[in-house]
A and B are shown apart, each in its own frame.
Chain A
Amino acid sequence: MSDTNDVYDVNRRNFLKGLMGGAGAAAAIAAYEALAENPAALLAQETTTAAQSEDGLGPLSSAGDGGPVDVLERMRVELRRALQKPTGERRWVMVIDLRKCVGCHACTIACVAENKLPPGVVYRPVIEEEWGTYPNVGRRFVPRPCMQCDNPPCTPVCPVNATFKNEDGIVEVDYEQCIGCRACLTACPYGARTSDFGLTYTESTPVAAGLIAGRETADNYERVANFEYGRQYPREGHHSPMGNARKCHFCMHRIRVGELPACVTTCIGRATLFGDANDPDSLVSEMIAKPNVMRLKEELGTEPRVYYLT
């Protein structure tokens, strides 16, 4: 009897979870679309939030409390300011301060979690470099997102126009258009694209008891939709993005609703900065004007939008 009730409970709970999850996802999409259509509302919302110090978020720099301001707060304000401009007038860039990067890989993991990346797919690996001989040894960490090149070699090779620079200047992959030929992977000089071979972390793992940490829950987590490019892509059957080329997109789905990319918000050393380089007052504009700025393989003329401070 009790077994039957347990099964009933489990089924009912799963049903309610599914229902709530579905409703939540629908609400998130609706909110995303509303916000993306009206960026001005974002700034208004942010100002209101800033004024209410008791709301837990704390004041932004515009609140003027005179104390040190976390660069994340500054970048969020700048991001929302940039979103008020026409799309073509903003120029998203990422600046990575190699002197501040401690090699914790939090950005890599945040990216995997945000975009629900399966095994073998990575958007932002952190390359470790060592040089010199003891006792004069140096070591540094180089995160490598997609460079979002202004002259991307990966887009013209696509036989079906599935990858292109969108109106935000971000190199996008249209998952439903991509045929999976991997020509773009060959063309990218930075190795910044990976192919999704349809694997999951939970397959072939033992089924554990319990609802919270069991395989079923983990499996659900893996298969539930991500929100890349503002669309939903659940991992079912052999549907996209399985079989597709995949790459970093600066968390475009987050940017459009006024949120910084996941790798930026999780960087414990504040080594990764993001913003509009067309805004002369933005943090990234200040940074890329410094003499110690460089870009990877600049000699190729790809004009990367990722800058490194060395």
Chain B
Amino acid sequence: MLSQKNVKRFIYLLGIVAVVLGIYGFYSRLFFGERDVNYGSYVNWGLWVAMYLFFAGMAAGSYMVATLDYVFNLSAFKGTGKYGLWAAMVTLPGALIFIGFDLGHMERVWKVYLQPNFSSLLAQLVWSYTLFLIVTVTSLYFAMRNNLALLKPIMVVGLVLAIFVSGGVGALLGVNASRATLHTAMLPAQFPILNLTSGVALMLLIVNLFNVISDEEQRNRLTRILRYILVVLIIVKAYFLWVDYSQALYSGVPDAVDAVNLVLFGTYGWAFWILQVGLGMVLPVIVLLQPNLSNKKMLVGLMGLLVLLGLAVARTAIIFPAMAIPELEGLAEAFTGPHLGYDYVPSLMEWSVTLGIVGLSTLAFLIGTDFIGFFKDSSEVAK
């Protein structure tokens, strides 16, 4: 049985390996642009956009969980707020790197600030995420200074922003009337729930793998609460999934049906059934409902990780199939060339960048919690 210290060392090692593997992708993207990506003009948003949704979701969700300690003062969550804030702090820049790399001209991103079109949801989100990042940094600053008088109001603002950016991302996709699977009011409603699920799963992982709560009794109590919340959220997520897909299938609209069939039985079918549903939902629900898990921190932490994996795959299941249905039948064959296909499998370079950012965020979290004095004593804020 691995000790928690060894688990942490192992995760450090994984993080370093991921960063090393990411060097190729970063080099390729920064020096040669988007030449080696596999997304293109038809599947125009790929793995990086899906990972942006996932990382931004973890950031917003972690922030929501942090408010349970700092805003709502729930005793079971005492001492977890700072880890929620730190998790948001390390995942949000990851999300922004993903979406930055996805831009054809990332050096022009300043135009969104100085020459914005506010009727565009994308512009609204860029501004909102920037504000959210500032609020997260400010929250962390006040938490470190133990200035609860200022921390609480700023975190109320942050909570509203976290919900807004979560729904906003759903809306960003949902307004595309030309994409039958995206054009649903479900997405803005789903995303805050999905993001909260991410935040809870991440907190379950942090609490059980990284030993951040030294009081065993509190840790067990907190784990139990997180487990049950997570199970409820997974069930809600399953309901959303059912509503989403059944609406599409029963509507009989060919584009919507084709996209759902692609998710269930197409190229991405294995990822949906095995990763998203099997490992990301069914297995965690079965395990987390077991009564005697207090001595199985590793197993519980692993379930948190699996739920996160399922949520990451869920984001790809929202993006890829929606893009993979031709707007006009025959368009794919009308003119062929690089980046002009509807079959999308992320390139090595896209995976490399993804691994690099996952590694960077993981290492940033571990280094912060191990070397910043504020995170060493988990009972500091509780007192």
* A125 touches B (CB below 8 Å): yes
The 8 A CB mask of A117-135 against B (1 = contact, 0 = none) is 0011110011111000000
- Cα-based distance from A160 to B124 in the complex (angstroms): 11
CA distance A90 to B331 in the complex (A): 31
Within 8 A of B (CB), among A129-158: 129, 142, 144, 153, 156-158
A220 is an interface residue with CB less than 8 A from chain B: no
Is A177 interfacial (CB-CB < 8 Å)?
A: yes
B161-178 contacts to A, CB under 8 A, are: 172, 175-178
The interface-forming segment of B32-40, B53-61, B192-200, B290-298 is B32-40
In the assembled complex, the Cα of A197 lies from the Cα of B29 at a distance in Å of 12
Q: Is B340 an interface residue (CB 8 A)?
A: yes
Smallest CB separation, A165 vs chain B (Å): 14
Residue interface bits B12-54, CB-to-A below 8 A is 1, else 0: 0000000000000000000001110100111011000000000
CB–CB B327/A191 < 8 A: yes
Which chain B residue has the least Cβ–Cβ distance from A240? B105
A254 touches B (CB below 8 Å): no
Q: A157-B120, A159-B126, A179-B103 are in contact. Are A120 and B337 (CB under 8 A)?
A: yes
Q: Mark A34-46, 1 if CB is under 8 A from B, else 0.
A: 0000000000000
A96 contacts the other chain (CB 8 A)? no
Q: Which residue of A lies closest to B331 (CB)?
A: A191
Inter-chain CA distance A255–B250, complex, in Å, is 48
Within 8 A of A (CB), among B303-331: 323, 326-331
* Shortest distance from the beta carbon of A133 to any chain B beta carbon, whole Å: 18
Is A195's beta carbon under 8 Å from chain B?
yes
A186-243 CB contacts (< 8 Å) to partner B = 186-191, 193-199, 238, 240, 242-243
Q: How far is the CA of A191 from the CA of B105 in the complex (A)?
A: 21
Chain B contacts of A127 at CB under 8 A? Answer: 328-331, 333-334
In the assembly, what is the distance between CA of A199 and CA of B337, in Å? 11
Contact B331 A186 (CB under 8 A): no
One of B65-73, B109-117, B145-153, B227-235 at the interface? B109-117
**Size category of the binding interface on chain A:** 35 or more
Cross-interface CB contact of B104 among A119, A180, A188, cutoff 8 Å = A180
- The verdict on A296 contacting B328 (CB below 8 Å), with A128-B334, A188-B178, A197-B35 known, is yes
Q: How far is the CB of B48 from chain A (nearest CB, A)?
A: 11
In contact, B122 and A243 (Cβ under 8 angstroms): no
A121 to chain B: which residues have CB within 8 Å? 41, 337
CB distance from A277 to the nearest CB of B (A): 23
Say how far A306's CB is from chain B's closest CB, in angstroms: 12
> Could you tell me if A181 and B102 are in contact, using CB atoms closer than 8 angstroms?
yes
B293 to chain A, nearest CB (A): 43
Contact B334 A160, beta carbon cutoff 8 Å:
no
Q: Which residues of A contact B117 (CB under 8 A)?
A: 156, 158-161
How many angstroms between the C-alpha atoms of A109 and B105 in the bound complex? 28
Q: Is A273 an interface residue (CB 8 A)?
A: no
Do A179 and B41 form a contact, CB below 8 Å, given A122-B340, A189-B177, A198-B34?
Answer: no
Q: Is A197 a contact partner of B34 (Cβ separation < 8 A)?
A: yes
Is A104 located at the chain interface by the 8 A CB criterion? Answer: no
A177 and B115 in contact, given A157-B121, A159-B126, A296-B328 (Cβ under 8 angstroms): yes
Tell me if B219 counts as interface (CB < 8 A to partner A): no
A248 interface hit (Cβ, 8 Å):
no
* CB <8 Å contact, A180 and B103: yes
Let me know if B339 is at the binding interface, CB within 8 A.
yes
Q: For the complex, what is the distance from the CA of A126 to the CA of B326, rounded to whole Å?
A: 14
Q: Are A195 and B111 in contact (CB under 8 A)?
A: no
**When chains A and B are docked, how far (Å) is the Cα of A61 from the Cα of B104?**
48
The answer to the question of A272 belonging to the interface, with a C-beta cut-off of 8 Å to chain B, is no
Q: Which of A129, A181, A238 contacts B330 (CB 8 A)?
A: A129
Residue among B106, B116, B117 with max Cβ neighbours from chain A (10 Å):
B117
Contact status B34-A179, CB under 8 Å: no
A182 lies within 8 A of B44 (CB):
yes
- List residues of chain A with CB within 8 A of the CB of B177: 153, 189, 300
A57: CB under 8 A from chain B?
A: no
Question: Is residue B78 contacting chain A, with contact meaning CB distance below 8 A?
Answer: no
A199 — which chain B residues lie within 8 A by C-beta? 35, 338
**B328 and A153 contact, CB distance less than 8 A:** no
Report the bound CA distance from A196 to B105 in whole Å. Answer: 11
Whether the Cβ atoms of A189 and B335 lie closer than 8 Å is no
Minimum C-beta distance from A175 to chain B (A): 9
B179 in the interface (beta carbon within 8 A): yes
Can you name the residue of chain A whose Cβ is closest to the Cβ of B118?
Answer: A159
A27 within 8 A of B: no
Measured CA separation A29–B79 after assembly (Å):
68
Residue in B44, B120, B329 whose beta carbon sits within 8 Å of that of A186 in the complex: B44
With A179-B105, A179-B111, A244-B104 as known contacts, state yes or no: A195 contacts B41, CB within 8 Å. Answer: yes
Docked pose: A128 CA to B111 CA in angstroms: 40
Please determine whether B112 and A179 come into contact, CB atoms closer than 8 angstroms. yes
Q: Is B327 in contact with A189, judged by CB distance below 8 angstroms?
A: yes
Q: Across the interface, do A244 and B328 meet the contact criterion of CB distance under 8 Å?
A: no
Bound-complex Cα distance A157 to B120 (A) = 4
Judge whether B335 and A125 touch: CB under 8 Å: yes
Within 8 A of A (CB), among B337-361: 337-340
Is A267 in the interface zone, CB < 8 Å from B?
Answer: no
A185 near B41 with CB under 8 A, answer yes
Given A120-B338, A195-B40, A197-B338, 7 more A-B residue pairs with CB atoms under 8 Å apart are A119-B337, A126-B334, A127-B330, A128-B333, A156-B120, A157-B121, A243-B104
Could you list some 5 contacts between A and B, CB below 8 A?
Answer: A157-B120, A178-B104, A191-B328, A243-B33, A300-B177
A residues engaging B (CB < 8 A)?
A: 108, 119-122, 125-129, 142, 144, 153, 156-161, 177-183, 185-191, 193-199, 238, 240, 242-245, 296, 300
A-B pairs with lowest CB-CB distance, top 7: A180-B104, A243-B104, A189-B178, A125-B334, A194-B41, A159-B123, A125-B335
